[in-house]
Structures are given as structure tokens and as C-alpha cells.
Chains A and B, each alone.
Chain A
């Protein structure tokens, strides 16, 4: 009966090896991910400043949050921004991808680089470039704006223009990602489908509607979902270009978290807002997933 202990020994060895392999990741995960998540929730129930301890205040921060006008403004602006970016960014990405797949060789590679390059750049480089392009005095885009509206506009200081401009810059910056995904999805559609359809006399538009769009749907849904989650988390572009102004028209949820934690030294309240954002993202993602799944089935 000597083999029993040997089997459990090798099983123990296996577990030990597994632990050694996953330990570094687990340790880091617990320290810089899991613990901060816990801390975020825990802190939201205290009145702690940024650094230091606070007293338990129960739901007071949340009550305050729901009475805080700026909170609702932030939620509204965040959703407004999402509305301005998610769908347009997806459609533009699809359009560009459709143009690129028709090309070949070096031309295709070159064109792809031109469209994709912005995605590779740091956000600060992107905002610096666009602030220069849109500069009211010397920006190269101002003559265009003047032609359309009759005057040069300080776009990031104008409550009507600020958010759309931030959306424009964001789309320019992140679109490349969508283009890549759509290109690969388009390439996966067998050419024979199109050949058969055009033999049947279907127009380009009909081919798109009947073949391309339905077959693309899984990737389209994926892109929409990824975009939605990404844009809900916006902070960098707003902070760098408008700081939440003008007239609070670009004030988003993360901006509020930042201000409360680092500007107003209210760690507890900032955590409550962070929890609100977290919950919002989870709810929206789940909802959207269900919605897209249902639509996909029909």
C-alpha cells in the first residue's frame, strides 16, 4: 500500500508549484487591486481626509452626494460625453475599416498607419497638439471655424463647444483601436458571400445590410461595449483641456473624485463618488451586454 502517500505527495507538490507560480500575481493583485477596492468602499462610509483616519459616518457621504448639484451635473456630463463618443466612434471606425480593406499592400499599410498612429500616442501629446490646432489666435483650424460660424472661437472656453471638442479629440485619438477590430472582422467574412450576392443582383448597399452588418454584429457589439466602458472612465482629456469648465459643462464624475480627494482633501466623500462611478459602470455594462445579446439573437 505504498502508493497512497506518494500520490498525495505529488498532489501536494503540484499545489505547491501552483502556489509558487500564482503567488507573485496574487500578492500584487491583493495589494494594489483588491485592497484598494475594499478601501474605496470602506472609506466611503467615513469622513476621512485624504491622508489619515476618519470616523464612521454611515451613509452620510451618499446622502450628501445625492444632494450635491455638481454630482448630478457630473453624471449628466459623463453620459453626454458617452453619447457623443461611443456610437460615432464605432461607426467611424467601421467606415474607415471598410475603406482600408479594399486596399492592398503598401498603400493599405501606409493608410492604416495614418489612421492608427494617434492611438499610440500619450494623451498629453494628443491634447497638446489639439490645443495648438484649435488655439483661438493662431490655430490652423480657426479659419475653418471662422468660415462656418463667422468668428474665431476659444473652443474650450465656450460652453457649447467644449464638450463636443473634447469628444472630437477623443474620437481622433481612440478610433484606431476600433478600426483594427473591424478590419479583422471584415476580413473574416468569406468573399464568396459577396460574389454570390452580386450574381443575384444585390446592390452594394443591400450586400452591406444583408451580409456585412449581421456578420459583423458580434464585433460591433464588442466594440460598443468596450467603448462604453472606456468613455465612462474619462478624466485625462477633460483635466488637460478644460478642467471641467466652462460653466461646469465638461465636469465629469472622475473630475469630481479628483477634486474632492486632492483639491478639497475629502477622502471619504471622494470614495463615495468613486463607488458611484464603479456602480454606474457595472450597471451600464451589464445592461448593454443584455441589450446587445438580445438584439443579436433577433
Chain B
């Protein structure tokens, strides 16, 4: 009797698995994309599901930043990880030693019809650690300067081509801010001054424009470029050009309501501006340009959304799922023009170099930043939700808001990050 039951069970299992091989593959997808990004990614996923009956993506959006990465870590530890997830390239040096990411072999890559040549070299290299590929870049996203054309024109800062003029160089920039204030702009430059991530991007940009490095071997912030960058920013707040301790939505609202003449934020808010302008709710003409060269040479902070496969020793992902995942990635790459409408620059060269993309505005105006983009330092203390972001939140943000002396703040950053690997 027992043997009969066992035989029946095995037959059922075999039959079942043979059956399911021809049925669809369910792929669990985790991302942290919200706002305009979220809407566009959901549309892409929907389109994929509709055109691929054999692969169905079940997507979940979790909270951006530390909550997302903590959940990923825990899930991989217990074998409950998703099959595919979005992951910031800046975080790879931190994630790979933790064993959270599964390497993708050359064979798997070519089977999906992908190759390294299809991607911008800097992005693709950033996805590699020790010569192994741990993810596939999807976009390059950066920060830009959004500006109110009407407000700038009023202060005499608008060129004939509709682009800002007279903003190059820190002195000119500060003079321009003063002029904007005089000509009626309540807040010349809106910044998201209560959060570490946003302020890190501006700080790192100014640092890199001076040719400074955040890390040189073991040293953190060598030289005085860091101090100069921070002082430039604290000056904006203390002079009343930028708002003190303001939330993300509020910093955007200052710009969209017309009270702020300029706003530095990520490219992902481009859809917000586009939609508001389209529905007639904006009230002024807007534009977006690469961050002006304020302190030396052109440079802008950038990071990249990549797709990665979580790694779990307990519950490793099956080869069929890997195939399906890579197929999804390949498809998304081909369709990354739609993603570019969220303001990003595709990492996939065929799309980035296509005419459609080259004509897309405002992307075309600022896509030159890709040539001089600087990525986070390649270090385990860098990356979203990493120790550097935390240190920025804890020390640079208070310094910006006048709660901490800039020099002291940087010293504390150095102290904190020196111990980052120990504790």
C-alpha cells in the first residue's frame, strides 16, 4: 500500500513538473520605483505581461532606500528572495561581498542575446566586481537644474536660446541668485535640504567639479575641496537663497508653484514637470539643463538603476527562471525609450544612440552630462543606504541647516566613515 502511494505521488510530481514546464513561468519582481518612475515601470511591466503569456511578472514596489535593501538582505538570507530586483549600481561594492547578488555568466548573457558592447562602458564596468558581472544596467540617472524661464528672463538671466546664461562659476551663480531674489523670486534655488541622499548628490557634484575625490585609498575627503563644496551649499541656505530643512515634496512644490526660480533635483521629476505643463497647471515655461560648472570642470553626480538576481544559497534560483529574467531584461532594454520619458538616459546604447532618443526633450538638452558623469566611489561604504548616505544625513544635512559648523561636520564624517567597516 505504502509503495503504491509513493509511486503514485512520484508519478504525480513528475507529471506535474512536466506539465508546468510548458505552462507559464511566474517571476517575482521587487523594485523601489515610485512616483513618475513607478508609473512608467508599471506600464512597461503590464505591456510585457500582455505580450508574453509564457512569462508573468508579479511586481511589488517597496519603500526606496534602507527599507528596500534591508528587506532584500533578509529575504535572501531565508531563501524568500524575489527572482529579479532593481538595484543601484552604486551599491554593488557593498552588496557583492555580502553575497546578496548572483553573478551572471557570459553564457547566460549571450543566450539572452545581450552583450557588453550594447552598454556604455562606464555603466557596464560598474556592474562588475572582480571581473564577474552582477547586474545589468538599465539607465543612468543624474541631477539637473530645473529653471523657471519667466523668472530667469525677468532677472536678465535667460539666453536667446531659452537656456540660462551667466550661471557659470560660483561667483556668477551666487550673483545670479541675488539678482533673482531682487527681481521677486522668493526662493532663488530650491533644494531638498532635509535629506542625506539628495544633498549628497549636490555635494558630490560640487566636489567632483573641483577635481576632488571623496576617497583616496583609506583617506576620506582629503584636501579642502570638500569644505569648499559644503561651504558653498551652506552659504546658499544662510543667505536665504535656499530653503532651510524642507521636505522632498515641499522642495518640488516651491518650484512648481512659481515661488522658486530654480530647483536641483533628479531627472526623475521630469515627468512631474511635463505633466503639470501639459495640464496647464504649471503657470510658467520650464526647462532643465545640466548642472552648470560652478567650481572648476564639468561633472555631475550620477547613479544607475540596474537589474540584478538575488543570490541565495538556501533557495537558489532555477535555470529556467534565470532565462526568463534575462529575457525580461533584454525586452526592457529594447523598450527603454519609454523609460527615458521618465527623464533617464538609457544605459542600452542602441536606444541611447537612436534618433528618437536624441530628439527627446528635455533629455537631449542635458544628456551631455553622461560624458562627464561621476559615479559614487567604488567602495563598500558608498551607495544608496550605505554608510556615506547615513553620514551625509547625520552631519552634512545639519551643517547645511546651520546646526553644525561645516568643518566640524566634515571631521565627524571622516570619523564615522573610518569606523564604518568596523561597526
Contact = CB atoms under 8 A, between A and B. Distances in A.
**Do A and B touch directly, given a CB cutoff of 8 Å in the complex?**
yes
A154 interface: yes
A246 interface: yes
Interface residues of B, number: 25
Interface string A116-137: 0000000000000000000111
Contacts of B398: 159, 246-247
A245 B74 contact: no
Interface in B221-247: 244-247
A265 B393 contact: no
A70 B423 contact: yes
A137 B194 contact: no
Given A137-B247, A154-B247, A64 B423 contact: yes
A263 B70 contact: yes
B403 interface: yes
Interface in A211-250: 243, 245-248
A31 to B, nearest CB: 18
Contacts of B28: none
Contact of A136 (B77, B250, B393, B423): B250
A236 B393 CA distance: 21
B81 interface: no
Contacts of A263: 66, 69-70, 73
A246 B193 CA distance: 12
Interface residues of A, number: 24
Contacts of B218: none
Given A154-B245, A245-B394, A248-B394, A262 B70 contact: yes
Contacts of A276: none
A152 B247 CA distance: 11
B98 interface: yes
Nearest to A152: B250
B393 A245 contact: yes
Nearest to B77: A51
Nearest to B67: A243
**Which of A68, A246, A262 lies at the interface centre, i.e. has the most chain B CB atoms within 10 A of its CB?**
A246
Given A136-B246, A246-B394, 15 more contacts: A50-B77, A51-B77, A64-B423, A68-B423, A135-B247, A136-B250, A154-B247, A154-B250, A157-B247, A158-B245, A243-B66, A245-B393, A246-B398, A248-B394, A262-B70
5 contacts: A51-B314, A135-B247, A153-B245, A154-B194, A262-B70
Interface of A: 49-51, 64, 68, 70, 135-137, 151-154, 157-159, 243, 245-248, 262-263, 265
